[in-house]
Amino acid sequence: MPGLLKNAHRLLDFTTCLLQESHHTFYIHGPFLANRNFLLTCDPANVNYILSKNFTNYSKGPEFGKIFDILGEGIFNSDGHLWEVHRRTTMSLFNSAQFCRMLQKTVREKVEKGLLPVLDHVSKHGIEVDLQDIFQRLTFDNISSLLLDHDPQSLTLDLPDIPFQKAIPAVEEALFYRNILPEIIWKMQNWIGFGKERRLKKAWETIDEYIFTCISMKRQQVARTNSHHMSSADEDDKLDWSAAYMELAYKENMGSPNKFLRDTLLSLLIGGRNTTSAALSWFFWLLWKNPLVESKILEEIRTNLQTNELKSWMLFNKKEDLCKLVYLHGALCEVLRLYPPVPLNNKAPTQADILPSGHQVEKDSKIVLSFYSMGRMESIWGKDCLEFKPERWITEKGEIKHEPSYKFTAFNAGPRSCLGKEMSFTQMKIVATTIISTYRVQLIESHPIVPRDSIGLKMKYGLKRVKRAQSLKRGCNLIHSMLNCLIWEFGLFELRGREWQRHG
């Protein structure tokens, strides 16, 4: 406990050091009577055993539902039959051809009408902007449009304050500390309305107001459409998520249909907003630190899409276009390996068990899987595990190399693996290609980049600044980028690659 308190500002890296010193598995003993004892592991054999081979014995556990009570009975909180119902329904919707068409159309339109105008505006006027905030607004607008058929339009030139957007960080921070503090302490804070628990209560009200308002608007829209017997090609091509889950609630006799719908949609909203925006933020930070990777991605875009003036949101009408970008895919996988959006995962055995590492676990005891640490283990990824190398994801034939999910755990593993994996890659590739081909992402040198105290792996102080490529054509920019790489790689000047652009 003294070590945890001393290193609270770098908790993920501290636990990674513990796991490196203890052969990937470590017992943590909290203060007496605090009920803070748990097993921490990043051993691939243990992860595979818990998430796949003996999946039925490892549930979320009784403590998980208390900590994440705001999620209700959504897919992230549920176990057993309820979870199976959630997963079966969500999978059928995600895998439908209708959803694939809706996804690409929604993302392209938001890039065209939201992302590009905002970035053009801030780059033209030299405005400092937080790219992490931009990406959160982008993904929130997208997932809200897809699930609730409502675009909150948070990504516009004035970057308006959206209550739901501001509420999420308060929720994530409170839930993070619930995982650290003894239950009696955070419950007492919640009862008296103090600190992070007080902010959580207010955020909960804000979130519920947004979701129930959207549900009400959707019902009114459906009622108007039915009363006028109106139909259009666009409407027929849409998936009505609210209707699908409402029907499920009645079919499965879930009690309050409104609450079930709220819990379901909230989990999907948070998952769709947080994970992709976090990955994009870390991606552009790593790209800025590795200009050679950026030049290779830009060259791949030009070679495979055969265009000098790329408007990616107009080009990606087919999934095959995205599949051509192998090196970009490798770079995104490398980001997710080093900075998984959900860095930790909690499990609890329903029966006592012995893990492949030989460690014994008692019934209902707490097990924490550190996905963040797995990407930093030499025994798993080699001596270059801390390097950003998209090449490790590409085979000798130039194809995408697939790693087992219990080794590359960014999308979880086993029966509870992430259903939104393809949706995330689609969004990330469209956004990354658009920005790389149109802008020079230039970050502030002195701006600190550290993880925030949150259940999601986000940047504590954001990701600042973006600059449009000046009046050069992208062919010239490619050469320019390669010169930056040569300067950087061979140390010809005491200048960072981005400073060369600024002075040269």
Mean pLDDT of 87-111: 90
| Across 260-264, 450-454, 484-488, least confident range | 484-488
Q: What is the number of residues in the chain?
A: 504
For residue 191, give the amino acid letter.
W
Q: What is the pTM of this model?
A: 0.88
pLDDT for residue 475: 46
Residues at the binding site are 418
Annotated binding residues for heme, written as ranges, equal 418
Backbone angles phi, psi at 359, to 5 degrees: -80, 135
Strand 38-41 and strand 366-370: the pairing is parallel
Bridge-partner residues for 366, per DSSP? 38
How many whole angstroms from its chain centre is CA 337?
Answer: 12
Q: Which residue has the higher pLDDT, 20 or 494?
A: 20
pLDDT at 302: 86
pLDDT digit string (tens) for 307-355?
555 554 455 556 677 888 999 999 999 999 999 999 999 999 999 999 9
pLDDT digits (tens, 9 = 90+) for 176-214: 889 888 888 999 999 999 999 999 999 999 999 999 999
Cα angle value 446/449/455 (rounded, 5°):
160
Q: Mean pLDDT, to the nearest integer, of 457-486?
A: 62
Report pLDDT for 115. Answer: 95
Tell me if 489 sits within 8 A of 292, measured CB to CB.
Answer: yes
pLDDT of residue 114: 95
SS (H, E, C) 121-177: HHHHCCCCCEHHHHHHHHHHHHHHHHHHCCCCCCCCCCCCCCHHHHHHHHHHHHHHH
Q: Number of C-alpha atoms within 13 angstroms, CB side, residue 301?
A: 28
* DSSP per-residue letters across 459-473: BTT--B--EE--S--
pLDDT tens profile 20-48 = 999 999 998 876 555 678 899 999 999 99
Which residue type, as a one-letter code, is found at position 504? Answer: G
- Reported as a pLDDT band with limits 50, 70 and 90, residue 487 is very low
pLDDT of the residue at 312: 44
pLDDT average, residue stretch 83-104: 89
CA angle 301-468-318, nearest 5°?
Answer: 30
User: Over the stretch 270-303, which tens digit does the pLDDT of each residue have?
Assistant: 999 999 999 999 999 999 999 999 999 999 988 8
